Structure formats: structure tokens, C-alpha cells
């Protein structure tokens, strides 16, 4: 698949989703980039800004099967992966798949479940498979997890461990819409919800071709070194207790490749790395307590790191 086709198809998905998620094109774009990189997305935000709607509209735009898992304290791992039920007619056990078997899976309020239940997602997210009753089963392709957690009401929640956070390709926040966008939302939903108007614009088979083609976007050696320098700077920063992992550098390179492809370029530029750095790295670092006390965000520190690391000259 050529770059122009990737760019055109990706823009079609973004345009279709933006019918519902009004005024958040840059955020929708990052969600689509995560999808193109075959990663998983964490949305951390306040209630009612469209997290679930974003997941549903993305699933519809690619014609994928949408599944939702509402995480609660009493949710069991088998409620996610599925379990074997005895069939009296057949006199044998048969496996009934859980809601993890979908193309786009919404893990709603993931931090409300116990760590044991949260860990049921780890194998699925990393390996694209689940193991129940000693048998491994492949998940559908493509497989895209969108997990949400509210950033305000943290009562009765179980914070995601670093190992699980690191498995999310990127983290985004939708935030409040601006005045004109919120007015447009009222007009759209006065009679019916616009998600009913979202159509499948890119078939699943084409999406998998796009995911494979994105990895062929050229990355010059100087850009790889630049990515490593940015990652190492997060580890050396006195604002962080823990810096980004090697998985962070790999995901940042892939995100830059996808960003370049959406822009219609067949090679990565420094701006592609900068555009995706906060999305890919912010949840992979552990800020010091004094950072929040000063009213600063992790994203602001990452922006300063990008300014401090020498940018290589554009190539291509």
C-alpha cells in the first residue's frame, strides 16, 4: 500500500469520527495513529466528554465489532476472557467467549476493577490472545483496546500498575469542547445522536494492510538516535522519579512513522517525533510530588525536554 492511500484512508476515518467528536480533530488523530500502530489507548478524563462515544464511532468507521466491558470491583477475569460451560446435550464443556473477543474493546473505568482482573487484559493487549482452562485462543484482527478512567472520582479505585500502563501505546484526554463546538453538539443531538450517521469508510482488511505498511515508513539513523536521546533525557530529568522504558522509544518511533504517513510522507521528520512525544511518553514516566505541587504537568516537562534535546536536520 502506498503512502497516499494510507493518508487518504486515515483522513477518512478521522473525518467520520469528527462528525461525533466535534472540535477535537488533533485528539481523534492521535487515537487513529494508535490504531494504525496496532497499539492500545488510554483515555483519562472527566465524565461526559465523549470517551465512550469516541470508541464506538471508531469501531463503526472501520466496520469492526464493538464490545464494552464495564469494570467494577466485583468483575472477575473470566467475565472478560470467557469461560467453559457444560453443555448437557453434548455432554461436554464448550467455551463461551467473553467481551474481549472484539475488534474494538472499550474497557470502561478500568481502574475500578481489582488488580487481578486488570491483569486479565495484559496477555490480550501484549500477545493478542487469551489463555483459559489451559487453552490459548487468538483474538480477532485487528484488536484495539480503548481503556478509560476518570481523573476526578478516584474513590474505590485501584491505580493501574506501571506494568499495565506501559502496555498502552498512548494516552489522551478529550477535555471540554470550546464554545462553538459545544453549541454545535447541542444542535447535532437535539433530535438524534450523530453516531447513527457514522459509516464504515475503511474495511478491516484494508486497515490491517495500513498497519503493516506504516512500519515501512523510512526512519533515518539520526532520527532513531534523536528518539533515544529524548527517552534518555526523561530518565535523567530531575522532574521524574522514573523515566520512559525502552518500549517507550519503540512506540515513539512507530507513532512518528504513522504521523508521517498520515501527513503523506514516506519518511519520518523531527516534527513527527515531537507531535507524538507527549501522547506516547507522559504515562510512562513517574513525576515527582513537587511537580504537581508547582502546578506543572508531565506534558509540560516533556515539551521542555524536546526543546533541550538537539534536533537533527531534516533528511529525505
Residues 207 and 246 in one domain: no
Range in 238-247, 267-276, 307-316 with the lowest mean pLDDT: 307-316
Model confidence band, residue 145 (pLDDT cutoffs 50, 70, 90): very high
| pLDDT value at 316 more than 60 | no
Among 193, 211, 229, the domain-final residue is 211
Gap between the Cα atoms of 177 and 184, Å rounded:
10
Q: Are residues 163 and 285 in the same domain?
A: no
What 3-state class would DSSP assign to 204? helix
Q: Span 108-121, mean pLDDT?
A: 84
- Cβ contact 255:243 at 8 Å: no
CATH number for the domain that contains residue 263: 1.10.8.80
Determine the pLDDT at residue 153: 60
Q: Which of 188-197, 201-210, 215-224 has the lowest mean pLDDT?
A: 188-197
Give me the number of domains the chain comprises. 2
Whether 86 and 103 map to the same domain: the answer is yes
Is residue 190 one of the residues assigned to a domain?
no
Do the domain assignments include residue 54? yes
The residue segments making up the domain with residue 90 are 3-179+203-211
Query: What's the confidence (pLDDT) of residue 214?
Result: 95
Average pLDDT over residues 156-169: 79
| Average confidence score pLDDT of the chain | 88
Tell me: pLDDT of 313 over 80: no
Q: Is the pLDDT of residue 151 over 60?
A: yes
The alpha helices in the chain, defined as continuous H runs, are: 3-18, 25-36, 51-61, 77-81, 115-118, 120-127, 162-165, 179-188, 204-214, 221-236, 246-262, 270-281, 289-293, 298-308
Question: Are 48 and 82 in the same domain?
Answer: yes
Average pLDDT of the segment spanning 117-143: 84
Based on the fold, state whether residues 137 and 67 are members of the same structural domain. yes
Q: What is the pLDDT of residue 226?
A: 96
Taking a C-beta distance cutoff of 8 angstroms, is the pair 292, 30 a contact?
Answer: no
Match 462515544 to its residue by C-alpha cell: 53
Amino acid at each position: 500500500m502506498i503512502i497516499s492511500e494510507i493518508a487518504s484512508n486515515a483522513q477518512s476515518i478521522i473525518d467520520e469520527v469528527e462528525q461525533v467528536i466535534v472540535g477535537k480533530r488533533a485528539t481523534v488523530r492521535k487515537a487513529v495513529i494508535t490504531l494504525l500502530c496496532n497499539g492500545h489507548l488510554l483515555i483519562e478524563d472527566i465524565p461526559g466528554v465523549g470517551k465512550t462515544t469516541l470508541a464506538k464511532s471508531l469501531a463503526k468507521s472501520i466496520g469492526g465489532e464493538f464490545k464494552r466491558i464495564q469494570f467494577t470491583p466485583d468483575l472477575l477475569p473470566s467475565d472478560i476472557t470467557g469461560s467453559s460451560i457444560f453443555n448437557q446435550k453434548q455432554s461436554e464443556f464448550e467455551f463461551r467467549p467473553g467481551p474481549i473477543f472484539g475488534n474494538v474493546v472499550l474497557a470502561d473505568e478500568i481502574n475500578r476493577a481489582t488488580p487481578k482482573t486488570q491483569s486479565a487484559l495484559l496477555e490480550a493487549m501484549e500477545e493478542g490472545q487469551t489463555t483459559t482452562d489451559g487453552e490459548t485462543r487468538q483474538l480477532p484482527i485487528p484488536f484495539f483496546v480503548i481503556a478509560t478512567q476518570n481523573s476526578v472520582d478516584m474513590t474505590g479505585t485501584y491505580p493501574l500498575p506501571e506494568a499495565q500502563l506501559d502496555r498502552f501505546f498512548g494516552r489522551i484526554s478529550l477535555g471540554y469542547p470550546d464554545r462553538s463546538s459545544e453549541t454545535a453538539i447541542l444542535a447535532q443531538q437535539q433530535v438524534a445522536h450523530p453516531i447513527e450517521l457514522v459509516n464504515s469508510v475503511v474495511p478491516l482488511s484494508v486497515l490491517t494492510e495500513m498497519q503493516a505498511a506504516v512500519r515501512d515508513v523510512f526512519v533515518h539513523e539520526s532520527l532513531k538516535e534523536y528518539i533515544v536521546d529524548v527517552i534518555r533525557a526523561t530518565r535523567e530529568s530531575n522532574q521524574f522519579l522514573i523515566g520512559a522504558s525502552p518500549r517507550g522509544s519503540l512506540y515513539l518511533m512507530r507513532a512518528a512513522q504513522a504521523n508521517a504517513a498520515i501527513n503523506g510522507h514516506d519518511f519520518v521528520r523531527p516534527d513527527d517525533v515531537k507531535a507524538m512525544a507527549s501522547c506516547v511518553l507522559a504515562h510512562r514516566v513517574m513525576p515527582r510530588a513537587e511537580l504537581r505541587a508547582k502546578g506543572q504537568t508531565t506534558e509540560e516537562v516533556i515539551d521542555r525536554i524536546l526543546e533541550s534535546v538537539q534536533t537533527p536536520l531534516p533528511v529525505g
